Amino acid sequence: MINQIDVFSSAHSFKEEDIRDKAVVMIDVLRASSTMVTALQNGAKGIIAVEDMDEASKISHNLDAKSFMMSGEKNGVTIDGYDLGNSPLEHTEDVVNGKTIMLNTTNGTKAIRRCSLADQIIVGSFLNLDAIVEYLQNLDEEVLLVCAGWRGRLSLEDILCAGNIIYELCEGDLPNEARDGAKVAFGLYEKFGDDIENSIKSSNYAVRLKDIVSEDDLEYCCQRSITDILPALKEGIITDINGKKQ
């Protein structure tokens, strides 16, 4: 199956038709994927990935504040009027337990919406890496690791996470027949995989958002396999399909 995996470097690096009937893992390490995984781990009932502010405000008017909440950011900053931003550390159990979260972010939620033709969409991060690897090991279909990136550009942390998934799937021995995207991600992971945290602390993201996003967020999002939560999109809502809350 490893030869059936390819990697898209950003949410804008593919045509939506390329996704049709494939299994997609959307990876947005900083921070949408990490936030979704954490919110579900902390008891959120589900997450609705919103395309943009207009859609979010339309939907929010019909929401019952007791069961829904709005999370999201623009350029990393919490959107005015939203309950939370896009930090996983804000999505604590006492805040999100039992809630359905409307999530509106710059890259990650848009990447999910661009994959609407997929056979299935799973959300991947370092936090649930082993759960992603285990799920893919039992899948017999073409897999696309869709890295959200940033505004159409590649993000180091997303490609590193894709490379880590590929490295685990092939147990560090990537066959020559692997797809180019898989080879690039695997090679990046071989180079930086021993020190994910420091590689990410010198990434474009960390430099760009150094005054907005805390080092605590970066360090949190670099932890590997701290949960078995496996977020999957079903009928418009992202929920945990592993059901093995720790």
Ligand X SMILES: O=C(O)[C@H](CS(=O)(=O)O)OP(=O)(O)O
SS3 (DSSP) at 143: strand
Q: How far is the CB of 193 from ligand X (least distance, A)?
A: 21
Provide the 8-state DSSP code for 238: E
Q: Which span (14-22, 37-45, 101-109, 128-136) binds ligand X, by CB under 6 A?
A: 101-109
Measured from the CB atom, the residue of 2 and 209 that comes closer to ligand X is 209
29: region left, alpha or beta (phi > 0 left; psi from -120 to 50 alpha): alpha
Per DSSP (E only), the strands in 4-162 are 5-8, 23-27, 46-49, 68-74, 77-78, 100-104, 120-124, 143-147
Spatial contact of 233 and 112, defined as CB atoms under 8 Å apart: yes
* 148 touching ligand X, by CB under 6 A: yes
Q: Phi first, then psi: what are they for 8, rounded to 5°?
A: -100, 130
* 108 touching ligand X, by CB under 6 A: yes
- Mark residues 179-218: x for contact with ligand X by CB under 6 A, - for none: --------------------------x---x---x-----
Q: Which residue of 7, 19, 30, 238 would you call a contact of ligand X, by CB under 6 A?
A: 30
Q: How far is the CB of 87 from ligand X (least distance, A)?
A: 8
Can you give the binding site for ligand X, defined by CB under 6 A? 28, 30-32, 73, 75-76, 86, 105-108, 148, 150, 205, 209, 213
